[in-house]
């Protein structure tokens, strides 16, 4: 059993990121049994949930003529334009039905502000608007965070990098994640995570 200062952060294990979903990550559903086992082993357990309004600025369909997976400039920097996904209240935004959500202490919703995307569990993509997760974890006494979920090279990686930046220890369980790998994004994420001091385990 991990020490009481250890927290598990499960990132966006939702229907739209699993096979058949609007922004499916290959093999995304394969990690559910392992994540469930992890949820039973950690003393502090958090689920994050992408929770976008239909008008979200990161959706390609809200930019006339823009193709999904193209890029645009937002006030906070470059932004990938995604297929519409995890729209508030839709089945796609729901957690995978096999996930043992009852074991979580906290569900944190992110990406609900229409004008800004939110990959990290800690900050919106402007890198300054906080979600409140860091404060919650500190109040609970967490010092080391273990990450699993979807997708390795976006929301998981950004969350782990922010965890280190905020002074937490961070481990990414690569075998309990799956990646989008958009234009080499998985290799880039691995490099950035290692350089930041994040531990990568299988």
Q: State the CB neighbour count (10 A cutoff) for residue 49.
A: 21
Upstream peptide bond of 14 is cis (omega within 30 degrees of 0): no
Give yes or no for a contact between 58 and 79, defined as CB atoms under 8 angstroms apart: yes
Catalytic residues: 12, 110, 155
Q: Which residue has the tokens 């800690």?
A: 122
Helix pair 157-165, 185-196: axis angle to 10 deg? 20
Distances (CA, A) of 137 to 140, 141, 157, 161: 5, 6, 18, 16
């Amino acid at each position: 059993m991990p020490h009481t200062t250890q927290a598990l952060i499960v990132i966006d294990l939702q229907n739209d990121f699993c096979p058949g979903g609007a922004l499916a990550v290959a093999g995304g559903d394969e990690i559910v049994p392992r994540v469930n086992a992890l949820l039973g082993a950690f003393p502090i357990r958090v689920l994050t949930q992408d929770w976008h309004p239909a008008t979200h600025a990161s959706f390609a369909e809200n930019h006339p003529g823009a193709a999904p997976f193209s890029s645009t400039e937002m006030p906070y920097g470059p932004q990938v334009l995604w297929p519409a996904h995890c729209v508030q209240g839709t089945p796609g935004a729901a957690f995978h039905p096999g996930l043992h959500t009852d074991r979580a202490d906290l569900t944190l919703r992110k990406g609900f502000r229409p004008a800004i995307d939110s990959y990290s569990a800690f900050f919106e993509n402007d890198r300054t608007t906080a979600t409140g997760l860091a404060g919650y974890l500190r109040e609970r006494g967490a010092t080391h965070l273990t990450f699993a979920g979807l997708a390795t090279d976006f929301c998981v990686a950004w969350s782990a990098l922010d965890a280190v930046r905020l002074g937490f220890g961070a481990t990414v369980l690569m075998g309990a994640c799956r990646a989008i790998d958009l234009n080499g994004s998985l290799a880039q994420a691995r490099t950035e995570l290692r350089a930041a001091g994040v531990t990568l385990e299988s």
